Each structure stands twice: as structure tokens, then as C-alpha cells.
Amino acid sequence: MATTPPIPPPCQDPFCEKGRERQLFPVQLRNRGFPADKKKKLRELLKCQRNVEEAITQGDWQFNDKKFPRKDWQYEVANGDTQIGYFDWVLHQYEVLIETAKEQA
């Protein structure tokens, strides 16, 4: 007799990578009392971040983010400001923007 695997506990991180952010994000924002314009900004940043993650998953190595184009990354590499790859750099830029937006709310 086969037993079903246990159900994992719900994700506690409102920005988790398991697809639950779409369910938790609006509730978390309401509970934190974010102003409407901050909610919109955070949603847009998260959507852009998901687009980058989808490009990585799909193997779209020609992807060029509109907010953080490859030429900006190349400039930072040329100046010795970063040594990480383009996709990691873009994801880091979005993480910084998201954290900054949350702190300003």
C-alpha cells in the first residue's frame, strides 16, 4: 500500500520561488499597510523579476531586460564593478530594488 507524501508547510516568505508569491503577495501587502502606489511598484518589480527567471528556465540566453540591459552589465564588468554573469546581475538588481521599495513603504 503506497502512502501519499506529506504536504509541505505553507511558504512563509511572501516572495518565495515556488509560485506561491501570486497567492501570498497581495495579502502580505494588505497586512503590512503598503500604500497603493508602493503595491503597484512592488508588483511590477516582481513581475519583471519573474520574467528574468522564466528566461533562465527556458534557456533564452538572448534575453535582454528592459530595465537592466546587457550594455549596463557590460559596463560594470569592464570597470571591474562586478564579476557575476548577466542573469545573476539582473536578478540581484531586482532584489535590491524590491528590498529598497519595501523599506521605503
More confident residue, 19 or 50: 50
- Round to whole Å and give the CA distance between 71 and 10: 40
Among 9-18, 44-53, 71-80, 95-104, the range scoring the smallest mean pLDDT is 9-18
Residue 26's pLDDT band (boundaries 50, 70, 90)? very low
pTM of the entire predicted model: 0.63
Residue matched to cell numbers 539582473: 90
pLDDT at 38: 79
